[in-house]
Amino acid sequence: MSTVQIVFLFVGFMILLAAWMMVSRSNLVHSALWLVVALFGVAVLFVLLEAGYLAVIQVLVYIGAIAILMIFAVMLTRGDVESLTHITNRYAGWAAVMGAFLLFGLVIVLGQWPAFQTTSPEAIESANPVLDLGMAFVSPDGFTVPFIVASVLLLAAFIGAIYAAFPRKKGE
C-alpha cells in the first residue's frame, strides 16, 4: 500500500466516524462540530486527489461559512433543544432493518456497474489547474454563459435568503 492509500483509508474512516457522531449526538452544537470534522476530512480527500483549489474552497466555504451559519441557526432556536430531542423513536429497529436491506441492494446493484471495474482515466496534466479553471470560466469558447448564469443564481439566492430570513413588518 502506498502512503497515499494509507492516508486515504485513515481519513475515510475519520469521515465515517465523524458522520456517525454527527447524526447520533443529541446536542445540536456537538453535531455541528462533528460535521466540521467530516467536512475537513473531505478537504483532505480533495488534497489527495491533487485538487488543492477545491480543498481550500471546501474549508473556506463549508467550515468558514456554512458550519458557522448552522451554529447561528441552532442558536436562533429557543432554548432547551437537548432534552426535547430523542434521536430514536419506537420504529428505530424497523428502520435499521430497512436500511440494511437498502444498503445490501445498493452494494449488489452498484457492484455490477461497469464504472467500478474500470480504472479512472489519468487526470489531465496541467501546469496550473486554477489558471485553466479561470480560462474555462470566462474565455469565449469556455463556459461563459454558465459563469454569468451562476452569478444570476447567486443573486437569486442572495435576494431569496434575505427575503426569507428578514423579519416581516406587520401587515406584510
Partner 1 sequence: MLDNWLFIGIFISIAAVFPLLPIVIARFLAPRRPSLAKQETYECGMETVGDTWVQFKVQYYIYALVFLIFDIETVFLYPWAVAFDVLPLFAVFEGVLFILILVAGLAYAWRKGALEWA
Partner 2 sequence: MGFLGDPIKFIGDWLKSLIAPLNLPPVWETFLSTLTSVIAVASFGLLIVIFLIWVERKVAARFQDRLGPNRAGKYGLLQTFADMVKLITKEDTTPETADKVVFNIAPVLSVVSVLLIWAVVPFAPTWFGTDINVGVLYIAAVGSFGILSILMAGWSSNNKYALLGAFRAVAQLISYEVPMLIMLMVPVLLASSMGMVDIVARQDMWFIVVAPLAAVVFLISAIAEVGRTPFDLLEAESEIVAGFHTEYSGMKFGMFFAAEFLHIFTVGVLFAILFMGGWRGPGAEQFPLLGMVYLMAKSTVGYFIAIWMRSTLPRIRIDHMLAFNWKFLVPLSLAILIVTAILHKLFAATTLYIPAMLVGNLVIFLASLGALRAVAQRQRKQRKPFKKRPVAKAA
Which chain residues interact with partner 2 by CB under 8 A?
A: 3, 29-30, 33, 36, 52-53, 56-57, 59-60, 63-65, 67-68, 71-72, 75, 128-131
- Determine the size of the site formed for partner 1 (CB under 8 A): 51
Amino acid at 153: L
C-alpha cell at 152: 444570476
Q: Which of residues 34-63 bind partner 1 (CB under 8 A)?
A: 44, 47-48, 50, 52-53, 57, 60-61
Toward partner 2, which CB reaches closer, 15 or 36? 36
CA dist., res. 97 & res. 161, Å (int): 39
First to last CA, the chain: 63
Inter-CA distances, 170 with 51, 77, 113, 156, Å: 49, 22, 56, 25
Toward partner 2, which CB reaches closer, 68 or 103? 68
Residue 128 burial (CB count, 10 A): 9
Residues that bind partner 1 (CB under 8 A): 4, 44, 47-48, 50, 52-53, 57, 60-61, 64-66, 68-69, 72-73, 75-80, 128, 130-135, 137-140, 144, 147-148, 150-152, 154-155, 157-159, 161-163, 165-167
